[in-house]
Chains A and B, each alone.
Chain A
Amino acid sequence: NAGVTQTPKFRVLKTGQSMTLLCAQDMNHEYMYWYRQDPGMGLRLIHYSVGEGTTAKGEVPDGYNVSRLKKQNFLLGLESAAPSQTSVYFCASSNTGNEQFFGPGTRLTVL
């Protein structure tokens, strides 16, 4: 039982490049979330999903897109990366929408 895994662990991009972060969970959870964490600002919700095929915007969705084609996977896309998107990205999943299980994070730097 791996829990929540994130790929990749680290990435460096140049401004304007695109990339996709992959989140996978093996707990059969309905809810999945993407957060970013910046120093002094805590976790901020980017997008979330309440089930396969559904997505919704969180607090800071601009510049990001997501897809939930399979229940176990939640993808976060950056179409044209900007330095302001330098952050640590966490994925989480939940069975009830309450207790969340977090992945180990992806550290992204945009130059």
Chain B
Amino acid sequence: SQKIEQNSEALNIQEGKTATLTCNYTNYSPAYLQWYRQDPGRGPVFLLLIRENEKEKRKERLKVTFDTTLKQSLFHITASQPADSATYLCALDNDMRFGAGTRLTVKP
């Protein structure tokens, strides 16, 4: 069956460092993959979408990579700030299957 795994349930890093979150999937060949941010008590907010023919996508301090051979997407936040603390979710294309999320905490 199709499976999506976000490898770390929680990730703690120091302010200014780069946070790297992982999304792995099995038994699936998505045409694209999305990343969302969710703050406590709120709905997810869309951040980035990357298509299967794109290796990398950037938006300000965010960078997403998509490796269809490894069946993996990496989500990077450079120069992290305490305001980046949230749960980050990956989702696979039109099926909208979400991973369980990684809770990122950036410490000052």
Contacts and interface: CB of A to CB of B under 8 A. Distances in A.
A44 B98 contact: yes
Interface string A93-111: 0000111111111000000
B100 to A, nearest CB: 4
Interface stretch (B11-19, B42-50, B64-72): B42-50
Contact of B49 (A92, A99, A102, A104): A99
Given A42-B4, A42-B100, 15 more contacts: A35-B98, A42-B89, A42-B101, A43-B91, A43-B96, A43-B98, A45-B95, A90-B43, A98-B34, A99-B34, A100-B44, A100-B46, A102-B45, A104-B42, A105-B43
24 contacts: A4-B43, A33-B96, A41-B100, A42-B4, A43-B44, A43-B89, A43-B91, A43-B96, A43-B98, A45-B95, A48-B96, A58-B96, A92-B43, A98-B32, A98-B49, A99-B34, A100-B44, A100-B46, A100-B96, A102-B43, A102-B44, A102-B45, A104-B43, A105-B41
Q: Chain A interface residue count: which class?
A: 20 to 34
B58 interface: no
Interface of A: 4, 33, 35, 40-45, 48, 58-59, 90, 92, 97-105
Contact of A42 (B42, B49, B94, B98): B98
Contacts of A41: 100
Contacts of A45: 95-97
Q: Which of A48, A90, A98 has the most CB of B within 10 A?
A: A98
Contacts of A102: 43-45
Give the interface size class of chain B.
Answer: 20 to 34
Contacts of B34: 98-99
Contacts of B100: 40-42
